[in-house]
A and B are shown apart, each in its own frame.
Chain A
Amino acid sequence: MLDTIKPGDLENAKSMSIIVTKGTLDWAYPPFILATTAAAMDVKVSMFFTFYGLTLLKKDLDLKISTLGNPAMQMPMMGMHMTMPNIVSAIPGVDRMATTMMKNLIKKKGVASIAELREAAIDLDVQMIGCQMTMDLFEIGKDEMIDGIEIGGAATWVGIATKSDINLYI
């Protein structure tokens, strides 16, 4: 099969890096969707998980959404759309209700779960790097996180980013 690889092919392989900073159920989607899709399209992908994004590397994925900071959030309900103003997140139980609604929608609409997408990312050899500083800051041990990840810092990402065709911050 070596003769099917033309000179320059490996150098021409595209690459992408994503900085993952958010760890809520809704915000976990963009980085994992883009990472898995790009990897499926033969793009070499690296994900750098920092701050609240680091939680997406935990073995126990218990993700929630918050209506706070998502003023444009709308939930389809009985043919209408229910808006979720920031202020309602102060009411006890609202975020839990919104999380349940979102999880039901995800199932109903054939959208992958985050656990499924993370599994796909591992299968597709997406490089996942956990931020050492965040682990120290929030006291998260390596044993709490999934196997197969690497640990690094800002310089690790810069090293990858300077060689990447696409760099995203989510």
Chain B
Amino acid sequence: MAAHVLNAEGLNCPLPILKAKKALKDVPQGEILEVRSTDPGSVADFAAFCNQTGNTLVSSSTEGKIYKFEIKRN
């Protein structure tokens, strides 16, 4: 379990991204934010978000109906 977790379950586009952006502000550089979402669109969206903002998408996985992303703040 990561130290920083954002539960974005039940939220639709673009709320998971907006909440992740806000949550990343409180994550120290080099540490990981774990985001949990139920929006299938967030798989492509978090890849694009990390690519554009220079953060690292360490992992992107699925647990049942939950999409899990680990974002390292750079």
Contact = CB atoms under 8 A, between A and B. Distances in A.
Majority-rule SS of A interface residues: loop
B17 A110 contact: no
A37 B12 contact: no
Contacts of A41: 17, 21, 48-49, 52-53
A42 B10 CA distance: 25
Nearest to A34: B14
A37 B17 contact: yes
* Size bracket of the B interface: 10 to 19
Contacts, number: 41
A132 B13 CA distance: 32
A120 B14 CA distance: 11
Contacts of A110: 10-12, 15, 39
Nearest to B20: A40
Contacts of A122: none
Given A40-B21, A124-B21, A112 B52 contact: no
A36 interface: yes
Contacts of A111: 12-13, 15
Contact of A120 (B10, B13, B18, B53): B18
A109 interface: yes
A108 to B, nearest CB: 10
A74 to B, nearest CB: 18
A112 B17 CA distance: 12
B14 A40 contact: yes
Nearest to A120: B18
A75 to B, nearest CB: 17
A2 B10 CA distance: 39
Contacts of A42: 52-53
Interface string B1-24: 000000000111111011011100
A33 B39 CA distance: 15
B18 A36 contact: yes
Question: Which 6 residue pairs are nearest across A and B when measured between Cβ atoms?
Answer: A40-B21, A41-B52, A37-B14, A110-B12, A111-B12, A110-B10
Interface of A: 33, 36-37, 40-43, 109-112, 120, 123-124
Given A40-B20, A42-B52, 19 more contacts: A33-B13, A36-B18, A37-B17, A37-B18, A40-B17, A40-B18, A40-B49, A41-B17, A41-B49, A41-B52, A41-B53, A42-B53, A109-B12, A110-B10, A110-B39, A111-B13, A111-B15, A112-B15, A124-B18
